[in-house]
Amino acid sequence: MLSWVYSRLIRRALGLRVRDAQCGFKAIRRETARALLPQVKDRGWFFDTELLALAQRAGYRIAEVPVRWVDDPGSTVKLLPTIWKDVCGVWRLRRPAG
């Protein structure tokens, strides 16, 4: 449910045209990484979303390739702080630069 809500939020608020910004793997060309990574401010869970949003805005091609994902039942995330930081990140990216 949370993943679905998050996907809807980033599509509406940021215009991000991806199905899932946080699950899976990210691959990026060296030249693209050099151009985009210095612009990414978040170093937490929102990093993926911010990187994808910046790439889309800059006109880079984004391809989603399905992967087989095996969940690690021992991994944890602090849900409320993570949600709050992600919402703050979305808000930051929505605001016009300046």
Catalytic option among 48, 71, 72, 86: 48
Task: Tell me how far apart the alpha carbons of residues 40 and 72 are, in angstroms, rounded to a whole number.
Answer: 27
Average the pLDDT over 67-88 and give the result: 87
CB 32 within 8 A of CB 52: no
Range among 21-25, 53-57, 93-97 with highest mean pLDDT value = 53-57
Residue 92 CB: number of other CB atoms within 10 A? 12
Task: Quote the CA–CA distance of 74 and 63 in Å, as a whole number.
Answer: 30
Please state, as a whole number, how many other Cβ atoms lie within 10 Å of the Cβ of residue 8: 10
71 is catalytic: no
Q: How confident is the model at residue 98 (pLDDT cuts 50, 70, 90)?
A: very low
Tell me the mean pLDDT in the region 51-78.
Answer: 89
Give the pLDDT confidence score for residue 96 in this predicted structure. 61
